[in-house]
């Protein structure tokens, strides 16, 4: 291979395009007040800018700017690497008890949002299956794109396309995720303006908030020095990739047991195989926690004497991976799929219906479950349920810039409860595409779980004893 050949530089050029699009979007946000007030993240806006530029390049010059295959790989791995980085952080135990009940209730509320989106999405796409011949199970990609974000939308959209014959399934999932960010921005702005009319919000939308930084922000006691024989940041990146590679080796081992011939497992084994590679971020999180546990064990035994993980740098690695994932996911959408009415009609209906239903459901829940910080809880949960956790932080920061309410804690500590209660629905994602009957079954089970979990979530209201 010659050094001047395109293959040597294609990956670097693709990264440069992604970063350049994000910088251009951030500059546009700073210069254009209406865009800034729309609260659209720079990575989302950058993705749309790059998507438009690629469309113009293909139309005018009959040549794409980048390979969508590279972008899809970045989307897939960005999710897993970001979660591994978050799992490697050292979490200090709360001493004020704020996050105990709120984290549990937030976790159940998040899962209920997934279930509501799954029921509505499947209801729409099952009807479109009978009327238009659309893919019946495509509605379950609504919670994957809205509730879980671009990484999971790509994972399952691609799985549906490759294993179950959903034409343009990858673009369908990514389009849902992209519309989720738009829904988060639109719904968040509407809610903040409503609070302004009520006199509860006095800030300027999209205004910059200065961080209050101290030395403790960047480093903690007994950590390895910033620069010695190996740079401190290099150590953090190495730990993330080691944990993620261990997850790959585990998944590969299970995959070989399910599919020893390497031709694609069938039946139940095929469903499990798709779920393993679709939830790679969970395995990345698990092995990052195991790696962190091993280091803690070695430290207790006196074999390791310093702290090797740094929370500040791990947060930056996760933020970098998620920004890269978002801009790559939007830029890799295949616009030619929008010429098919079987693609456009169900996509449009479930995106609008999902945004509206999530908005009003969370307003109903937050008023009853989080009465002391109702508005902060709504903004954080709605942003997360239609975009990502970072979108929830963006909306929350507008009303609670110093993160003084419990809503910010809930964004961090709700995850274990969300995984626990959400496990049944995640298992059903691999069942829905197996036929129209299975799609009906999954919708019914999700509706039943939604009813049960709402009883758990509203337990204080439903079973409250009357005071004498």
Q: How many CB atoms lie within 10 A of CB 182?
A: 17
* Position 206 confidence tier, pLDDT thresholds 50, 70, 90: confident
Mean pLDDT of 175-183: 94
Burial class from Cβ neighbours inside 10 Å (0-12, 13-18, 19+) for residue 5 reads exposed
Residue ranges making up the domain that contains 204 = 7-90+101-458
Confidence check: pLDDT of 402 > 80 = no
Confidence check: pLDDT of 319 > 50 = yes
Q: Which residue has the higher pLDDT, 266 or 303?
A: 303
Confidence check: pLDDT of 272 > 90 = no
Decide if 170 is inside a domain.
yes
Q: What is the dihedral of CA 148, 145, 281, 19, to 10 degrees?
A: -110
227 has which bridge partners?
231
Count the domains in the chain: 1
Decide if 393 is inside a domain.
yes
Q: Give the separation between CA 92 and CA 97, rounded to whole angstroms.
A: 12
Q: Name the nearest CA neighbour of 191 among 56, 39, 417, 419.
A: 39
**pLDDT 10s digits, 217-260:** 677 777 888 877 788 999 999 999 999 999 999 999 999 988 88
Q: Which residue has the higher pLDDT, 284 or 216?
A: 284
Q: How many CB atoms lie within 10 A of CB 346?
A: 27
Place of tokens 């343009």: 168
Burial class from Cβ neighbours inside 10 Å (0-12, 13-18, 19+) for residue 260 reads exposed
Please give the C-alpha separations between residue 53 and each of 14, 22, 63, in angstroms, as whole numbers.
13, 13, 11
* Position 413 confidence tier, pLDDT thresholds 50, 70, 90: confident
Confidence check: pLDDT of 207 > 90 = no
> Best-predicted range by mean pLDDT among 95-104, 114-123, 155-164, 266-275?
114-123
Confidence check: pLDDT of 100 > 70 = no
Mean pLDDT of 346-367: 96
Q: Is 222 left (phi over 0), alpha (psi -120 to 50) or beta?
A: left
Confidence check: pLDDT of 353 > 50 = yes
Q: Give the separation between CA 114 and CA 255, rounded to whole angstroms.
A: 28
State phi, psi for 370 to the nearest 5 degrees.
-120, 60
Mean pLDDT of 83-99: 70
pLDDT of residue 37: 87
State phi, psi for 360 to the nearest 5 degrees.
-75, -30
Confidence check: pLDDT of 468 > 50 = no
Q: Which residue has the higher pLDDT, 34 or 100?
A: 34
Q: Give the separation between CA 437 and CA 122, rounded to whole angstroms.
A: 12
pLDDT of residue 95: 45
- DSSP, collapsed to helix, strand or coil, labels residue 41 as coil
**pTM for this predicted structure:** 0.86
Please report which helix (H) or strand (E) contains residue 335, including its range: none
Confidence check: pLDDT of 51 > 70 = yes
Decide if 257 is inside a domain.
yes
Confidence check: pLDDT of 288 > 90 = yes
Q: Name the nearest CA neighbour of 173 among 201, 142, 147.
A: 142
Q: Which residue has the higher pLDDT, 199 or 216?
A: 199
* Position 93 confidence tier, pLDDT thresholds 50, 70, 90: low
- DSSP, collapsed to helix, strand or coil, labels residue 131 as helix
Decide if 2 is inside a domain.
no
pLDDT of residue 368: 92
Decide if 286 is inside a domain.
yes
DSSP 219: -
State phi, psi for 322 to the nearest 5 degrees.
-70, -40
pLDDT of residue 467: 46
* Position 267 confidence tier, pLDDT thresholds 50, 70, 90: low
Please work out, in degrees rounded to the nearest 5, the angle formed at the alpha carbon of residue 114 by the alpha carbons of 458 and 438: 115
Confidence check: pLDDT of 1 > 80 = no
Q: Which residue has the higher pLDDT, 412 or 116?
A: 116
**pLDDT 10s digits, 322-349:** 999 999 999 999 888 898 888 999 999 9
pLDDT of residue 278: 81
Which structure tokens are listed for 383?
Answer: 């942003």
Confidence check: pLDDT of 372 > 80 = yes
Mean pLDDT for all residues in the chain: 88
């Amino acid at each position: 291979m010659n050094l001047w050949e395109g293959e040597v530089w294609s990956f670097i050029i693709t990264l440069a395009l992604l970063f350049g699009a994000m910088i251009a979007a951030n500059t546009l946000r700073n210069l254009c007040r209406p865009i800034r007030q729309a609260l659209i993240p720079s990575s989302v806006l950058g993705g749309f800018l790059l998507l438009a530029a690629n469309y113009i390049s293909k139309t005018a010059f009959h040549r794409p700017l980048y390979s969508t295959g590279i972008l899809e790989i970045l989307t897939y791995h960005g999710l897993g690497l970001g979660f591994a980085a978050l799992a490697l952080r050292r979490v200090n135990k709360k001493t004020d008890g704020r996050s105990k009940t709120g984290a549990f209730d937030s976790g159940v509320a998040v899962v209920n949002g997934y279930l509501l989106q799954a029921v509505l999405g499947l209801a729409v796409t099952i009807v479109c299956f009978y009327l238009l011949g659309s893919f019946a199970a495509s509605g379950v990609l609504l919670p994957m794109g809205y509730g879980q974000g671009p990484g999971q939308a790509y994972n399952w959209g691609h799985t549906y396309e490759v294993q179950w014959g959903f034409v343009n399934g990858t673009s369908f999932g990514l389009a849902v995720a992209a519309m989720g960010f738009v829904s988060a921005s639109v719904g968040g702005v509407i809610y903040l303006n409503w609070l302004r009319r009520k006199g509860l919000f006095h800030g300027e939308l999209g205004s910059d908030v200065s961080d209050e930084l101290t030395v403790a922000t960047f480093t903690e006691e007994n950590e390895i020095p910033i620069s010695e024989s190996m740079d401190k940041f290099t150590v953090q990146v190495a730990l993330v990739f080691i944990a993620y590679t261990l997850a790959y080796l585990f998944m590969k081992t299970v995959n070989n047991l399910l599919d020893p011939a390497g031709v694609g497992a069938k039946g139940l084994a095929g469903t499990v195989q798709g779920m393993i590679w679709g939830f790679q971020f969970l395995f990345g999180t698990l092995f990052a926690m195991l790696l962190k546990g091993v280091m803690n064990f070695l430290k207790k035994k006196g074999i390791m004497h310093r702290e090797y993980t740094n929370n500040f740098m791990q947060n930056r690695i996760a933020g970098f991976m998620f920004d890269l994932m978002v801009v790559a996911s939007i830029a890799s959408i295949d616009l030619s799929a929008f010429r098919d009415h079987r693609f456009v009609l169900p996509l449009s209906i479930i995106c609008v219906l999902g945004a509206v239903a999530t908005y009003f459901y969370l307003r109903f829940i937050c008023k009853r479950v989080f009465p002391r910080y109702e508005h902060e809880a709504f903004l954080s949960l709605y942003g997360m349920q239609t975009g990502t956790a970072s979108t929830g932080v963006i909306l929350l920061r507008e009303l609670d810039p110093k993160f003084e309410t419990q809503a910010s804690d809930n964004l961090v500590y709700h995850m274990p409860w969300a995984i626990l209660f959400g496990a049944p629905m995640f298992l059903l994602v691999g069942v829905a595409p197996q036929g129209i009957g299975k799609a009906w079954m999954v919708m019914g089970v999700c509706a039943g779980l939604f009813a049960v979990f709402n009883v758990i979530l509203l337990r204080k209201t439903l079973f409250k004893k009357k005071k004498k």
